[in-house]
Amino acid sequence: MARDHGKQIKDDTLYEDLRKGGASKEKAARIANAKAKGSLEHRGTQLEDRSKADLLAEARKIGIEGRSKMDKAGLVKAIRDHG
């Protein structure tokens, strides 16, 4: 059973799993609270449906190096692994 992290954390189990996975306290709290609220956007599951041009624009926006040499699958992986 997950430890109670106080009322500021809405999903203690998810928070602990994210922290064990290396997420910062702030990031884990944001994700756990968004999931509990039902407002977590699953952007990662939609990446394959986006065009390569859109993925390149996203990669440029978040500062991924070497993006121009990547194929669509490489861009999807780089965007998912970023952050």
Calpha distance 81→27 (Å, rounded)? 15
Query: pLDDT, tens digit, for every residue of 3-52?
Result: 776 778 888 888 898 889 998 988 888 888 887 776 665 554 588 888 99
Calpha distance 31→46 (Å, rounded)? 18
Q: SS3 of 15, please?
A: helix
pLDDT at 59 over 90: yes
pTM above threshold 0.75: no
